[in-house]
Each structure stands twice: as structure tokens, then as C-alpha cells.
A and B are shown apart, each in its own frame.
Chain A
Amino acid sequence: MSLTVAEQIAQRQNGLAPSQLNNQRIPIYGDKATATSETKPLTWRLAHHDAVLDFKTHESLRGFEALKMALNQSAETTLNTIKEAVVKGRGGAGFPAGIKWSLMAPPDGGPRYLLCNADEMEPGTFKDRLLMERLPFQLIEGMIISAYAIGATAGYIFIRGEYILAAERLNAAIDEMIANNMLGDNILGTDFSFDLHVHTGAGRYICGEETALINCLEGRRANPRTKPPFPQVAGAWGRPTVVNNVETLNNVPAIILHGSKWYQDLPKAKGKTETPGTKLFGCSGLVNDGGLWELPFGYTAREIIEDFAGGMKDGRQLKAWLPGGASTDFLTPDHLDVIMDFDTIQKAGSRLGTGLIMVVDEAQDMVALVRNLEIFFQRESCGWCTPCRDGLPWGVKLLTAINDGAGQEGDIEKLEGLTRDLWIGKTFCAHAPGAMEPLMSAIKYFRPEFEQKIATAVGVSAIDAAAQAPLGEQ
């Protein structure tokens, strides 16, 4: 059940963060007795505490065990464990973190950076907020282990400016970590030193693109950079840099603790997927109980929508769904039984993205809905390359015309032209191609809705033209 504004105000006064203001989130963590570091590695601590906000509490819940283990072995061993586990990047692209790390230029004595991408702004995504607001120490522990593995000398958590309480909690946690010799020079008496800072943003979705994030961190406009060189070779301040998502880094401590084989075996319980590990899955839109659930890979979209999110609200019918954010392709009710993992969703014609489903009910007009999505992408384009800067507003203009009853024959073909001209390889970064995914798939599955609006508009204008013609011509 959602809270009323009055209840939200009251809970806020008790210092609760937005991700805590929802009573029905508690079942996520299942039975307290069974939620352990081995079954729910990302969220099991929340079965014991609503949020773990101080050093001692984190320590009492097996905190820093993984960090101590990692520091007692070589950096290479640590890196190899993560590589063997195959942690597919949770920011949306699914690129394995271990491989990303191993592509880093070899140490040359100069600075190397680990950046945490906490610029969670993909519409429909609210998982990193929960991890940072409620488990800040887990992320920091994951970052220190990761930094050790790649030989990073400094790190930054790049967090969006709107996650105010998350940034405060991370800063407080960093201070406690420094006081306990787990950040700074010679961590726990070893040769390893690592400084960590929080860098807050001030809006702009594009900051989540890793090279734009680096530009923003350096105090520049957040335009993406050309690749290659990849950040692992020349990233922040021209130095070797790795950028990992919040959830990806949260996976690291448990893998060190239980090993890569354990991680690989997690989804086998379901036996239906090759993607290892667990993930925060979620659901939003008009469902009964939207929220987040940590699940091993292997669940289907239907299970998430019906069993976890309680099904569609007020008996509505599902019309379409986005598997993982605004920049993923629409899928239809026919796809509900696909497994929510990177490979299976891709085979179904979309992308897992962030793995948080958005459901579209039958009352929604797809033209108006896609127009909303494209307005978002248009506004968030950084304006650096022409196809994106000019193409996205053109798409919005066409969609607005169609939606307002001023569409013309050929408009759908023009939109399809955009989906080709703004596709991968024709733009500087993945922003415009991401914008094309929902557009392309909406036309693919709901073309009659577009056609009908245009036909009505064309019909009306033909009648208007006839009405305005001189009498003798009628």
C-alpha cells in the first residue's frame, strides 16, 4: 500500500529516506531466517535492519569480512574471482565487470581511478537509490575491494543531485570508514591506499554515459567522449579509469566471501538461465504492489508482474511492457513468459536494461505514450552530435502532430527513417539509439494505432478542403 502525503510527511520527520517510505517493501527480503548472505547477497542485511547506517551494525552483519579476505590475497586473485563469477554490468549494458577491469592499462605508478556510476536517471529505475540509502557501507566495501583488484588510487561515487539523503548517508559512511582505517592511507595496515569521495551532479540524464560522467567529474560540460580510447586506458584526467554501476559493485563483497562458483550456481536453482547471480528486479506502472525484489536470475516477467507486484491494478489488462527502462524496446503480453535475463530478453527483441519492468495498461494510447518517452530523450540530449540534437526533436514534432490529429500520410515512414538514421554507429553515443528502441518497437507492435490517428486526421482535412472549395466545384 502506498502512503498518503500526510503519512509521508510524518515518516520523513522521523528521518526516513524515500526508499524506506513504503511498508509493502518488507516482503522483498522474505523470511528473516532464510535471508542470508548466500541467498540474498545484495539485500539480506535488510532482513535484520530497515537500513544499515553505521559502521558497527554493518560489521555485526558480516561486514568487512570480504574486505579483509580480499586484502589478504593478491589483487590478481581478487580480480580473477570477479572475472570467473561473470558479473554482468547492472547499469544496463550487461558488460562483465571482470573483463572491464582486466582491460585496464597496466600500472605505471601514476593515479588510477574507480568511479561508481550512481547517476540513476533511466526512467523506471529506482534500485540504486535503495542500495545507497539503506546499505551505504556495502557499496563502499565493494568499492574498496574493487579498487584493490584494479590498483585504483582514488575513487568517486558520482551520484545524481536529487539523491540527497543517499549522498549524505554515503558521506557519513565514508567518514566512519576513514576513522576505522578502511579508507585513506595503508588500509588495515597493508600497502594499499585508497581515497573515496562523493561527487554530486545537478541533473542531466547523459551523465550516466560513462565518458560524459568523466567529463562531468572533471568539471566540464557532460558531453560524451569519443571511444577509443576507452576509459580503462585514458579516462578521468587522462588516467586509467573503470566506471561501474552501484548494483554491480554491491555484488563484489559476497563473491569474495563465497567464491565465483557459488555465484555461478545461484541461478541454477531455477535452472533456466545462464546469467549468474541475483539482481534487484522491480516493477512500476499501474500494478497493485510496485517495488523491488532481489531474485536470482531465472524468473519470468509474468512471475515478477503477477506474483511479486501483485498483478495489474483494478483488473486492468496488460497492453505492453518495458523490461528495463525507457531506452529498452516494448514487449507485449505474448512475451510475458520469457526469462528476465540479458540473453533471453535480447532474443525476444529488447534489452534487459536495468531489469525494472514498467507495465502499460490497455487504457494507454501508444502514440501519446511514445511521445512522452521521446520528449524525455529530446530534452536530455546533450546536443553534441547532429543526429541526436536535430533528430530527436523531429521525432517529437512528428509524434505531436500525429497525437494532435494533424498527422500526414508518410509520417510513420519518416519516424522509421529516424530509427535508422539515429541508430548505433550514426550517433556519438548510445543516447539516440536508446531513444529509438521504444519508438521502433511501438511502431512494430502498435502500428494500427499510429495509422488510425493519421487516417482520421487526413480524413478530416479532406472534408475541410471540400467544405472550403467554391460551391461550383463541389
Chain B
Amino acid sequence: MKIVTDKAPKVDVASILTGDEIAAIHEFMHHYPHARAASLDALKIVQKRNGWVDDAQVNAIANILDIPVTDIDGVATFFNRIYRQPVGRHVILICDSIACYLTGYEALSAALKAELGIDYGQTTPDGRFTLLPICCLGNCDKGPAVLIDEDTYGPVMPEEVAQLLELYA
């Protein structure tokens, strides 16, 4: 009978994560009384490299924090902005909440989908953009709003979409 343990299977962390990533995770661990609290910080650090987090990286984080892999994956899959599958070089998050709905979200959403030729949850064939809806971006007086990578824009009119996307190669 195979004995299941709580511990993450040992992996060679240094072969999966870079030295900088490991150091950054350790830095965050010092912010909290328990290493587990750095779970989300660690996932965000690791996600910066490829835009998403793969299984090996999840294992490596579990090794560093010394908690079960399932706990890390539980956190990774709970939060909508940790991606467990590949995404495009740029992620476009369009606010579909009420304030933007009232100020033209539907027309902007249609324009983005038409310009990119994709629907929500899809990535353009050239790997440039992934399109996802997101709840309220806190930019309600300037709706409709979008967040592209780390940049918030609003209002964005449908006819301005092409011009905006040009900024993101």
C-alpha cells in the first residue's frame, strides 16, 4: 500500500526556479509569522516569468514553503489572476461589473472580441493577447474600464481599441 504523506515530494528547487525567484520568495516569507502565508506572493513571483504557473513550479513552491502541493494548488486555483495554463504575452481584463455595464461595457467587449478574433478565455493564435472578464476595477467614474497587464484604462470607446492594443507588442 502506498503511504500518502502531507509533505510535498522533494524536487530540485534550484533547477525549476531561478535564484532571484527563490530569494524573492524568501523575502516575503519574512513578512509573516508562518511560511505558508507567502503562498500567494510566491505564485505571483513565479508567474511573472512565463505569465502562468506550471506543475513543476507549484511543486517547487510547496518545497520552499514546506507545505503540501495540494495547498499551493488550492490557492492557485482559487484566485482568478493566478493562471494554471498558458496565457498570451499580454492579458486583457475587461470589467464586466455594473458601473461599466451602465457605461458601455457590452459595446467595448464586442469591439475587443472582434479586434482580437477571440472570445473570453482564449488566446490569439500569435500568442499576443488573452482576453478575460474581471469584476469591478475600481475605475467606475471612468467606465468602461480595462486592465492590460499592469495598466488601467478608462473610459475606452470601441473605436479606440485598435489604438490601445498597438501599445502591447
Contacts and interface: CB of A to CB of B under 8 A. Distances in A.
Interface of A: 2, 4-6, 8-9, 12, 18, 21-22, 111, 120-126, 128-129, 156, 160-164, 197, 199-205, 216-222, 237, 282-286, 290-292, 322, 326, 356, 358-361, 364, 369, 372-373, 375-376, 379-380, 382
Chain B binding surface, main DSSP class? mixed
Given A4-B160, A284-B102, 12 more contacts: A5-B153, A5-B156, A123-B136, A125-B140, A129-B139, A204-B80, A217-B37, A284-B99, A284-B141, A326-B98, A361-B102, A372-B96
Contacts, number: 166
A5 B98 contact: no
Contacts of A360: 102
Interface string B96-120: 1111011100000000000000000
Contact of B74 (A221, A373, A380): A221
4 closest A-B pairs by beta carbon, nearest first, are: A290-B141, A219-B39, A123-B97, A203-B80
A284 B135 contact: no
B11 interface: no
A160 B81 CA distance: 11
A18 B32 CA distance: 30
B143 interface: yes
A410 to B, nearest CB: 27
A18 B95 CA distance: 15
B138 A205 contact: no
B85 interface: no
Contacts of A285: 99, 102-103
Contact of B163 (A5, A121, A161, A283): A5
B137 A358 contact: no
B152 interface: yes
Interface string B49-80: 00000000000000001000001001100111
Contact of A218 (B37, B147, B167): B37
A324 B93 CA distance: 24
Contact of A18 (B31, B33, B39, B154): B154
B128 interface: no
A114 to B, nearest CB: 15
Contacts of A356: 140
B46 interface: no
Interface in B1-58: 31-34, 36-41, 43-44
12 contacts: A121-B138, A128-B138, A161-B44, A162-B134, A162-B137, A202-B40, A202-B79, A218-B34, A219-B36, A220-B36, A282-B141, A326-B98
A145 B131 CA distance: 43
A18 to B, nearest CB: 4
Contacts of B140: 123-126, 282, 284, 290, 356, 358
Contacts of B102: 284-286, 358-361, 364, 369
Nearest to A222: B78
Contacts of A122: 136
Contact of A369 (B39, B101, B137): B101
A380 B40 contact: no
A129 B152 CA distance: 12
Contacts of B147: 162
Contacts of A216: 40
Contacts of B37: 217-219
B135 A6 contact: no
B160 A219 contact: no
A221 B44 contact: no
B135 A358 contact: no
Contacts of B33: 111, 237
A204 B147 CA distance: 15
A123 B142 CA distance: 13
B134 A203 contact: yes
B163 A6 contact: yes
A34 B107 CA distance: 43
A239 B97 CA distance: 36
B126 interface: no
Given A202-B81, A203-B80, A369-B101, A5 B157 contact: yes
Interface centre among B33, B98, B141, B155 (most CB of A within 10 A): B141
A202 B134 CA distance: 11
A231 to B, nearest CB: 16
A201 B78 CA distance: 11
